[in-house]
Amino acid sequence: MDPGDRTPDADVLATVGAGLARHPHDGLVVVEAVRDGSGRPVDVLHLWTNAAAVANAGRPLVGLRLREAYGEDSTLLPVMLDLLGTGRQVVTEVEYATDAADPGLHHRVFTVFLTAVGPDRVVCQYRDVSAERHAARRLEHLAGHDELTSLPNRRLAYEHLGRALARLDREGPGLAVMLGDLDGFKAVNDVHGHAAGDEVLVAVAADLLAAVRPHDVVARWGGDEFFVLCEGVERDAVDELVDRVCAAVTDRDLRGGGRASVRLSLGACWTDRPEGPDALVQRADERLYRAKRDRARRSS
């Protein structure tokens, strides 16, 4: 017989269990079914835990039912009840939000491995993977967002535009695309420094978000350039929309002293046809150039 085919004897299994019980990070828990008068499982009771499980929970668990220990946060209870008596194994992940009843669970993420043993018991092994998951999400966010303003970046803006164009219905309203940049922004950097310039960009991002609807997209296109996408817009509403967005950007006092004088020049185009996003952006860019040229002529 191949040694690899041998079934572990009781001593081997006991050795494995004793070793895992001392795991410094993985919580280990054995629970047993609690049944009602009709024999239906309604909860589980903590029979045994290792030290890591106690540390994760922040309190002893043995002798407590899952509902007693976690109340509304007993996310795994339905999974455990479904496993009872099946002999099956389940691997899942549990994440707790900031409204979890237990403050110790806020923002925590656990990878959980559960095994049904016999008719009434479940063995649960779990690890806190919060740091890894939060770091991965941070990297994912940075891949599609501007680090300074937290707005979507150009790549993500293009994705939003492509999906919006694909949703267009010729019988319904269209969408408006706006490209803008800040007149006077170079002077802010030159006179007050780049920290002041960053302060202005963050403030302008907030102003633009406040000027549009919650489901509209505001993105940082690059440098002092911004992109705005508004779906469900009629053609005759675009001029009013442009005026509102431009009016949102005004002079402002700087935290370090002094005043930044900036204005938003904006080029907008509208469509109700699912055309290519590059062509739409190019039209908006051409109209931005004309808007800047006309403003320069008026001020000269």
Rounded to whole angstroms, how far apart are CA atoms 211 and 118?
A: 61
**SS3 at position 67:** helix
Q: Per-residue pLDDT tens for 194-203? A: 999 999 999 9
pLDDT at position 1: 44
Q: Per-residue pLDDT tens for 18-76? A: 666 777 788 899 999 999 999 999 999 999 999 988 888 888 999 999 998 888 778 88
110: left (phi over 0), alpha (psi -120 to 50) or beta: beta
Residue 227 pLDDT level (bands cut at 50, 70, 90): very high
CB 161 within 8 A of CB 153: no
Q: What amino acid positions are annotated as catalytic residues? A: 224
* Mean pLDDT to the nearest integer, 162-190: 89
State the pTM of this model: 0.65
Q: Can you state the percent helix, strand and coil of the chain, rounding each to 5?
A: 45, 30, 30
Q: Per-residue pLDDT tens for 98-108? A: 666 666 677 78
* Mean pLDDT to the nearest integer, 7-21: 64
Rounded to whole angstroms, how far apart are CA atoms 94 and 112?
A: 7
Q: Residue 134 pLDDT > 90, yes or no?
A: no
Identify which of 179, 274, 183, 291 has the alpha carbon closest to the alpha carbon of residue 228.
179
What are the structural domains of the chain? 3-132 (3.30.450.20), 145-299 (3.30.70.270)
Residues 6+ apart with CB under 8 A from 168: 174, 175, 271, 272, 273, 274
Give 115 or 97, the one with higher predicted confidence: 115
What are the φ and ψ backbone dihedral angles of 41, each rounded to 5 degrees?
-70, 130
Rounded to whole angstroms, how far apart are CA atoms 9 and 284?
A: 74
CB 85 within 8 A of CB 35: no
* Token output for 7: 């079934």
